[in-house]
Structure 1
């Protein structure tokens, strides 16, 4: 029987300067994963709180006095010789001039350039938390009341939803394409990102992203869209996640966490099952399946980018003003 992997709890900090740049440090040649860039921090010692451990590490490594703030994400990551728990906290204030007191290189990086730096697997989801939305809305089927569906979409965008997947399997291809064009225009106007469910060709035509189905992953040999168009992947197994990572997907959606009406009969992962899969890949991963905004902190505590949902993020349909009632609905193909 193989010996269990040793467990290590590391606390790291996201430190920003007045220009909004993020501080990264480079791992030394004598450390594990030499030459990779990471968020500064170190091991939490017995008897220390996370705040005490991170403040101590930043003073020892960088020579700064730091005020440790809220949890951003806690990433479980399995390596060949250890099981890491990377707890990442926001640094709300700091004093001093950061310098590599242990000979390590430092660099300040604009947030939009963080993904260009090679990092250990556990640090990659942290970049996701800093750069990608924590909520991912999957639209419900339009149904007969298409005007009401559009009103609900507008309310979702007004509420601050920044990433949307258009999922409308009940529509014929022509109807879906027409709806996709309208939703793409609404998302562009609101500054939100749109991904189309499975339709790579239409996404390429409209200049939006695509959410790949799990059945599509194995058939693809390369990322299907350029880097400026988001590619997500719907995953249920470790094989799905590994293929999504190999394709260079920007994120994955993993579930279901709980039983849902949209996936009747599917075996729920639960948070333990989510962690078991989460720790074996380096991807931002949304949890999906019976989750609401109330689960966001729990999701982040288990290494999730955030939550993806249909009903929990879709506003209730407001009735049209009386003056508009009786007018024709939006044309359907």
Structure 2
């Protein structure tokens, strides 16, 4: 028996003059009652997403809106249904927002969105509003560490704000001081740092930890404190569910496209990514042959953004992941 088609739902990110974002609380008698969500509702057959959002926000809140840019579309499976949550920025609105369907409303500073319990489909939306849309995975340094650090600085200057430090073939005596220098440059640029696979090095640098897929199965509990960012590389649903159970803050999923490092291996493609995406609520970066140009497509399939080596590393002379 095939899965039912997803229900198309449209929601808006509505901001007030202070930059706060409007959330609505699901009323009693509905699925996931009491949880907070971005306002919106079902799209009717033949209705455009923009028309649906205008109608829903008029009916639910009594406001007239102008629909802005797309933020993210999240496919999400629930026990009894499947949703496709299409979230748009509201570029302008008029009127006074009121809960016309007896729903409670809250104006929330963006940094506090994560403190509100939400349905699974809304959690990646919060991440899309709060967290970087790219994650640089560093390539193996060549013979010149200074040049590698200069390239990292160029990537940071180009806007990279989340960096996974990775150099599996480098001896520890060379990698540890180089990673320390890289972490310092990231700190100056305001970028978050995670260390691939090495919990001790991550702790010594005050950095987050990125788990390799093989490490997931060996862990019984989250290996770092809650305030330390934890991520993981995942390739299938079992690994994703394990990452979610361990309390990972996000995961990197792929490969989306074939890459030179895996010649002849087909990528999972965007459809394969979306099928994994709808089974978990973790923020997910897509990886594998991607560049910044792939960001809109990534967001249309529920990705937080893209992770890449070659696609985010300037003057790259190394092999990509």
Q: TM-score, normalised by structure 1?
A: 0.92
> Whole-Å Cα distance in 2 between the matches of residues 28 and 93 of structure 1?
26
1:35 aligns with 2:34: yes
Runs (5+) with no aligned partner, structure 2: none
> Does 1:151 pair with 2:155?
no
Partners of 2:208 and 2:267 lie apart in 1 by 27
2:115 alignment partner in structure 1 = 116
Kindly report the root-mean-square deviation, in angstroms, between the aligned alpha carbons of the 2 structures. 1.4
Q: Which runs of 5+ in 1 are unaligned?
A: 319-333
Shift of 1:263: 3.5
1:125-157 Cα shifts (integer Å, max 9, x gaps):
001100111111111000112221111011111
Which residue is 1:142 aligned to?
Answer: 141
Question: How far 1:13 moved relative to its partner?
Answer: 0.4
SS in 2 for 1:19: coil
Determine the C-alpha separation between the residues in 2 that align with 1:174 and 1:112: 39
* Conserved? CA contact 2:298–2:305, under 8 Å: yes
**Cα distance in 2 between the residues matched to 1:48 and 1:87:** 13
- My pick for the range that moved more, 261-270 or 47-56, is 261-270
In the TM superposition, what whole-angstrom CA distance separates every residue of 1:49-86 from its partner, at most 9, and x where no partner exists?
A: 11110011111111111111111001111111111110
* Deviation, structure 1 residue 6: 4.5
What pairs up with 1:88-127 in 2 under 5 angstroms?
Answer: 88-127=87-126
Q: Counterparts in 2 of 1:254-273, with a 5 A limit?
A: 254-273=253-272
Q: What displacement does 1:265 show?
A: 5.0
How far apart are the structure 2 equivalents of 1:7 and 1:240? 24
Aligned to 2:180: 181
Residue equivalent to 2:46: 47
1:148/1:317 contact within 8 Å kept: no
* Secondary structure, counterpart of 2:101 in structure 1: coil
Query: What is the Cα deviation at residue 224 of structure 1?
Result: 2.0
* Counterpart for residue 322 of structure 1: none
Q: Is 1:62–1:98's contact at 8 Å kept on the other side of the alignment?
A: yes
Deviations 1:9-29 (A, max 9, x none): 000001111221111111111
Q: Show the counterpart of 1:73.
A: 72
Aligned to 1:166: 165
Distance 1:145 1:173 in 2: 16
SS at match of 1:268: coil
**Superposition pairs for residues 150-229 of structure 1, below 5 Å?**
150-229=149-228
TM-score normalized with structure 2 length: 0.95
- Cα displacement string for residues 80-132 of structure 1 (whole angstroms, at most 9, x for unaligned residues): 11111100000011111111110011111111111121111111100110011
Alpha carbons of 1:180 and 1:8: their partners in 2 closer, same or farther (altered >3 Å)?
same
Q: Work out whether residues 74 and 87 of structure 1, in 8 Å CA contact, stay in contact via their aligned partners in 2.
A: yes
2:60 matches 1:61: yes
- Is the CA contact 1:149–1:317 (under 8 Å) kept in the aligned structure 2? no
The alpha carbon displacement at 1:228 in A equals: 3.0
**Paired residues, number:** 317
Match of 2:128 in 1: 129
Higher alpha-carbon deviation: 304-313 or 266-275: 266-275
Q: Which runs of 4+ in 1 moved over 6 A?
A: none
CA drift at 1:173: 1.9
Q: Is the 8 A contact 2:310 2:316 kept in 1?
A: no
SS for the counterpart of 1:165 is: strand
Bigger radius of gyration: 1
